[in-house]
Amino acid sequence: MTKEEQRTTTPAVESKTAATAPSTAEREPEATGLERKMESRHLTMISLGGVIGTGLFLSSGYTIHQAGPLGAIIAYGIGSLLVYFVMLCLGELSVAMPYAGSFHLYANRFIGPGTAFTIAILYWLNWAVALASEFTAAGLLMQRWFPGSPTWMWSAIFIAVVFALNILSVRLYGESEFWFASIKVFAIVAFIIIGLLAIFGAIPISGYDSAPLFGNFVADGWFPNGIAPIFSTLLTVVFAFSGTEVVGVAAGETRDPGAAIPKAVHTTVLRLAIFFIGSIAVMAALIPWHKSGVDTSPFVLVFQSIGMPFAGDVMNFVVLTAVLSAANSGLYVCSRMVWSLAKERMIPVGLAKTNFRGVPVFAVMFSMAGSLLALLSSVVAASTVYLALVAVSGLATIVVWASVAVCQIRFRRQWTAEGHSVDELGYRAPGYPFVPWAAIVMCVLALVLVVLDDSQRSTLYYMIPFVGLCYAFYYAREAWRRKHGDK
Q: What is the pLDDT of residue 200?
A: 85
How many CA atoms are closer than 13 Å to the CA of 300, on its beta-carbon side?
19
Neighbours of 313 (CB within 10 A): 12
Is the CB of residue 245 less than 8 Å from the CB of residue 404?
A: yes
Q: What is the pLDDT of residue 405?
A: 94
CA dist 455 and 448 (Å) reads 13
Is the CB of residue 231 less than 8 Å from the CB of residue 456?
A: no
Which residues make Cβ contacts (< 8 Å) with residue 231, sequence separation at least 6? 449
Q: What percent of the chain has pLDDT over 70?
A: 83
Give residue 17's pLDDT band: very low, low, confident or very high (50, 70, 90).
very low
Please tell me the least confidently modeled range out of 102-106, 166-170, 248-252, 408-412: 248-252
pTM for the complete prediction?
Answer: 0.81
Task: Pick the closest to residue 370 from 127, 166, 46 (CA basis).
Answer: 127
The dihedral built from the CA positions of residue 417, 420, 421 and 422, taken in this order, carries a sign that is negative
**Exposure class string for 271-295: b at 16+ Cβ within 10 A, else e:** bbbebbbbbbbbbbbbbebeebbee
Q: Is 337 exposed, middle or buried (0-12, 13-18, 19+ CB in 10 A)?
A: buried
Is the CB of residue 99 less than 8 Å from the CB of residue 29?
A: yes
CA dist 82 and 60 (Å) reads 19
Among the four given CATH numbers 1.20.1740.10, 3.50.50.60, 2.60.40.420, 1.10.1740.10, the one describing domain 37-479: 1.20.1740.10
pLDDT tens digits, residue range 368-412?
998 888 888 877 777 777 777 877 777 888 888 999 999 999 999
CA dist 395 and 460 (Å) reads 9
Please tell me the least confidently modeled range out of 78-82, 214-218, 316-320: 214-218
Q: Which residue has the higher pLDDT, 316 or 21?
A: 316
Q: What is the pLDDT of residue 42?
A: 65
CA dist 135 and 327 (Å) reads 7
The domains of the chain are located at: 37-479
**pLDDT of 294 over the 70 cut:** no
What average pLDDT does range 423-446 have in this prediction?
90
Residues, the chain, total?
A: 487
Q: What percent of the chain has pLDDT over 90?
A: 11
Q: What is the pLDDT of residue 19?
A: 36
Q: Over the chain, what is the mean pLDDT?
A: 78
Is the CB of residue 446 less than 8 Å from the CB of residue 398?
A: yes
pLDDT tens digits, residue range 342-376?
888 888 888 888 877 778 889 999 999 988 888 88
